[in-house]
Structure 1
């Protein structure tokens, strides 16, 4: 990654004037020196950042946090109210679905139009057209007006143009959520290739697994301001912390909130939750520590101790096994049997075991203490992120991928013999 920034902002902000009635807008135009007849809404406030060549920056945040506004400012489709912005290189962007397309033009005509907007000469567009058409794979619709396209066809053509013109900077704003599974796979493969070749990527998504996969840094926006910036794994967890907090406040009418808690593994993990309970201890049984190493096929056992309030009626523990970038590869949800109440609190312990049928490498284990029946409907009490770590030592790998599912050939000689006997 180059040290020179291709995008740099300093105190960048965008303010919109909100009018309660149409006549207020007219009066403001006629009497600009009079009393303001609008309310100010700052969609983006004091955003300062540097994005370097070859960097893949994920931008996360809830709806209305300012993500799209920031991208529009970087693309130049809207002007800033304050601050400065500099950018270098050709920018291709997938913002609002169908933006940049003339609905009366055919797909072919819109390819040439978008290529011209991106600064390509007609000969350059012609040289790339077959690749763009093949990538979009919309068949004869390439010569039909884009107003007749479905949302999936629009995003296919828009993405094909954006990636096939080989931009210096590619901006993707949730566009991949529209495409079907096969097209998403093709898009992700192309993004992976382009970022390896040094293209700068700005990627907005609510899918944290995609942010972790493609980005080496993440920017978390909240209420138009930078909440935090750092490793995608840490930013994803901070985002989930805020979402959990909002859920608990809503469900409890503001009585319960989710806050940062003490991490049992302060060197690598983080923790958050409520004051309804906590995970007091979690270790590998073979070492009594937060780290251990195993060989393929070993039995891995984890001892977990918890403390929950009497108000928690259905305590359970969630264990997820994650690869190096904290992408979940397996997990389990197990009920906890708590003991007798002592001063309003109950202790509960559990041991969980699984086989180390994994490829060689480093893995992490995240634990969640919850109240409820299932992972989807439970209320979070505490989450210890990447609390445990273990290595699977190199050996003779006889399977593909990360998890060994013991896939083996099946012989059906016995069935064939019986079928022959019955026929005769």
Structure 2
């Protein structure tokens, strides 16, 4: 089984003021350096135990792809070290290692040998590679005529045709069509169950939270946060929305989950509750019960416009349903400091049995990326139980009316 150990990893590139500085440093080394170091990765340390799955997230330019290149050895570090045990398969930049003038089949042979397969093994596995890539006769056409999706199909098929001890995947999967993405993630999940160690970079919150045991947030080339996927994704969401005067806070709830909140605090949620049909607060509800979500908001400053949104999430943090008063055409204008407003959202709780959370957002528009007054994850927790409905599975209660003709 594979493991990854990263110790104090750093990568810096030399920056010269002009081309003559580079030449002068080369010809006259005794004069001292004429460059400055630009650090893109700085002092990163973490470990992946055998069989563990870790997701790496961060904004564009945070250093995610550079970190994967350092781990796979395609780029050499300036400081620190990387230790990997087991056979590694990596899918980094789209088409990396493919020669545009060679056919897909020829490139499959070359790429397979790069990940440690013999020519005989590749020949034996070639029917599986072709079947999974599903690019038809293009397998014998030059790669230069491939679309980006076809390149990704072939690259992923070759890299994963034989279960590796360590699988490293960059965001290349994002260019594929929906069908192939589902097929790829099914293979990744299958390999995970068999013990493959997984390191994946993705902006897909659902993928990170459903596949990974842990997540790592990179910010400015540094390790900014790590922990459970839901906790780190919530923190990442807060970082994206952070603006001047905003703050990010995390606290631990009674059940041990980490709650993240952010914003300018110009308006905050003073109270939130789930009410039954009689208006009484509840923590447990029946499938399909008529409920109300009551949210009391306190304004701490004059606000030209106030929008309240909420999102219901399942136990893994996956969104189930969300809306806001902007989309419902019920935004409030000219809210005064000190004013308290009560919102009530009435709906049938057509959810499957399980535990759920509610995230709230107070903004001035349809998203929290502008004028984020307050974003609060895990603002409310509740449980749905099937007390008197027919047996079903899933996160939604969509009981059908059945007609059968014979």
What is residue 359 of structure 1 aligned with on the other side? 352
What is residue 124 of structure 2 aligned with on the other side? 127
Deviates more, 1:224-233 or 1:403-412: 403-412
What is residue 317 of structure 2 aligned with on the other side? 326
What is residue 292 of structure 2 aligned with on the other side? 301
1:379 pairs, out of 366, 371, 374, with 371
Change (3 A) 1:72 1:86: same
**Separation in structure 2 between the aligned mates of residue 58 and residue 42 of structure 1, nearest angstrom:** 22
Change (3 A) 1:264 1:71: closer
**Separation in structure 2 between the aligned mates of residue 53 and residue 257 of structure 1, nearest angstrom:** 42
Q: Deviations over 1:375-411 (max 9, x none)?
A: 4786321111012111112455455532123443469
| 2:248 is equivalent to residue 257 of structure 1 | no
Change (3 A) 1:397 1:359: farther
CA contact (8 A) 1:18 1:41 kept: yes
Matches within 5 A, 1:40-55: 40-55=37-52
**Separation in structure 2 between the aligned mates of residue 264 and residue 46 of structure 1, nearest angstrom:** 28
Change (3 A) 1:223 1:262: closer
What is residue 252 of structure 1 aligned with on the other side? none
Compute the displacement of 1:57 (Å): 0.5
What is residue 419 of structure 1 aligned with on the other side? none
CA contact (8 A) 2:287 2:397 kept: no
Matches within 5 A, 1:169-248: 169-245=166-242
What is residue 401 of structure 1 aligned with on the other side? 394
What is residue 71 of structure 1 aligned with on the other side? 68
What is residue 417 of structure 1 aligned with on the other side? none
Matches within 5 A, 1:21-32: 21-32=18-29
CA contact (8 A) 2:10 2:41 kept: yes
**Separation in structure 2 between the aligned mates of residue 190 and residue 340 of structure 1, nearest angstrom:** 52
Q: What SS is found at the alignment partner of 2:287? A: coil
**Separation in structure 2 between the aligned mates of residue 348 and residue 313 of structure 1, nearest angstrom:** 15
Compute the displacement of 1:332 (Å): 2.2
| 2:270 is equivalent to residue 273 of structure 1 | no
What is residue 282 of structure 1 aligned with on the other side? 272
CA contact (8 A) 1:296 1:358 kept: yes
What is residue 3 of structure 2 aligned with on the other side? 6
Compute the displacement of 1:274 (Å): 0.8
Compute the displacement of 1:212 (Å): 1.1
What is residue 421 of structure 1 aligned with on the other side? none
**Separation in structure 1 between the aligned mates of residue 110 and residue 63 of structure 2, nearest angstrom:** 29
Output the aligned Cα RMSD: 2.4
CA contact (8 A) 1:321 1:366 kept: yes
Change (3 A) 1:202 1:222: same
What is residue 164 of structure 1 aligned with on the other side? 161
Q: Give TM-score scaled by structure 1 length.
A: 0.87
2:53 pairs, out of 56, 60, 78, with 56
Q: What SS is found at the alignment partner of 1:271? A: strand
Compute the displacement of 1:29 (Å): 1.6
CA contact (8 A) 2:11 2:78 kept: yes
Which runs of 5 or more residues in structure 2 are unaligned? none
CA contact (8 A) 2:305 2:333 kept: no
**Separation in structure 2 between the aligned mates of residue 84 and residue 11 of structure 1, nearest angstrom:** 7
1:312 pairs, out of 303, 313, 316, with 303
Q: What SS is found at the alignment partner of 2:96? A: coil
Change (3 A) 1:349 1:19: same
**Separation in structure 2 between the aligned mates of residue 86 and residue 147 of structure 1, nearest angstrom:** 35
Q: Give TM-score scaled by structure 2 length.
A: 0.91
Q: Deviations over 1:219-251 (max 9, x none)?
A: 111111110110111111111111101xxx3xx
Compute the displacement of 1:22 (Å): 2.8
Deviates more, 1:307-316 or 1:357-366: 307-316
CA contact (8 A) 1:221 1:227 kept: yes
2:17 pairs, out of 15, 20, 41, with 20
**Separation in structure 2 between the aligned mates of residue 27 and residue 384 of structure 1, nearest angstrom:** 55
Which runs of 5 or more residues in structure 1 are unaligned? 250-255, 413-424
Q: Deviations over 1:112-148 (max 9, x none)?
A: 1111111111221122111111111111110111122
